[in-house]
Chains A and B, each alone.
Chain A
Amino acid sequence: MWAERKGKWIRLHDGSFLTETRTGGIYFGIMAGGIYLRHRAAYFGVFTALALIFSYLETLIPFSFGIPGIKLGLANLLTVILLYKRNAREALLLSVVRIVLSGFLFGNLWSILYSLAGGLMSMLVMVFLKRTGKFSIMGVSAAGGVSHNMGQLLVAMAVVETYRVGYYFPVLLIAGLATGLLIGIAANEVFQRVRHI
């Protein structure tokens, strides 16, 4: 959102000036005569709310691919956006908070466990691939989708105590690739259309 810093003042993209004071960790900005709250928590809260809405949307409209247990994972769009616009720490925090909250709202303890395994695995891979700088957001997201499914499969194997995953393994690979790629393309489009996130 910032365009230019001039001492205590910040000039925004639309030409207006803004200053901020810090009071107990909360930033108050003064802009065009009004006061508004600019704090990381507020920004993060909006993303959490959006992610929860996306999770809820997906329970209403199952983006089914004809295979049981496969879904788009629309809420991960926000994780990817946060990973690129803020940092890995906030993206990871959003991922965990969203999984726990939506798990309590729409799922159960098992779904939280599976989602956490997938979420943490995909964060790990996405952060690593992003750091290398050799992949675009689409590639990073696609790898995230694949590793998400691999993380879930690992937990499922540990829970059921079997190594016979059979044809489900390649199916999960392709499904993760497709959904991750879709999320990456969507995130890329968001960045091109919405400049000030």
Chain B
Amino acid sequence: MKKNDWILIIAVLAAALIFLGIHFMRPSQGDAMAVVTIDGGTFGSWPLSKDHTVEIGDGNRLVIKDGKADMVWADCPDKLCVNQKAISREGESIICLPNKVVVSIVGGEEGEVDSVT
């Protein structure tokens, strides 16, 4: 390995760390939405800026509070989704496999979800 190889490797690692840093330092967006889908179909979406409790079908309860969405209750035995941390950043999601419920955060721009799906 030459000296330039190490410089290259360190430069790429530094770039990756900077981008990771930007991603995690960025404050959660106020206009972000929590999009809920059941078995692939859209159940609804709620803005993170407003505190709200969403009953997702009979099996899950989602609480939106302080700009974060958190699954607080589920009827499934493993409670994996309940144990997940509250989500607030673009692209994060909470998934409840037994009930096929997916909660994901979307940037809030109109038509964003449809253009992707």
Contacts and interface: CB of A to CB of B under 8 A. Distances in A.
B20 A170 contact: yes
B19 A170 contact: yes
B13 A174 contact: yes
A167 interface: yes
Contacts of A162: 115-116
A167 B90 CA distance: 10
Tell me what chain A mostly uses at the interface: helix, strand, loop, or mixed: helix
A166 interface: yes
Contact of A177 (B1, B4, B9, B23): B9
B19 A142 contact: no
A136 B70 CA distance: 50
Interface of A: 134-136, 138-139, 142-143, 146, 160-162, 164, 166-167, 169-171, 173-174, 176-177, 181
Chain B interface category by residue count: 10 to 19
B113 to A, nearest CB: 11
A161 B2 contact: no
Interface string B6-49: 00110011011101100100000000000000000000000000
Nearest to A171: B16
Nearest to A139: B5
5 contacts: A135-B5, A138-B5, A167-B19, A170-B19, A173-B16
Contacts of A171: 16
A176 B116 CA distance: 25
Given A142-B9, A161-B115, A174-B16, A167 B4 contact: no
Contact of B90 (A143, A160, A164, A170): A164
A167 B17 CA distance: 10
A136 B15 contact: no
A170 B17 contact: yes
Given A138-B5, A170-B20, A170-B23, 17 more contacts: A134-B4, A135-B8, A136-B2, A139-B2, A139-B9, A142-B5, A161-B115, A164-B90, A166-B90, A167-B20, A167-B91, A171-B16, A173-B12, A173-B15, A173-B16, A173-B19, A177-B12
A74 B22 CA distance: 32
Contacts of A161: 115
B9 A181 contact: yes
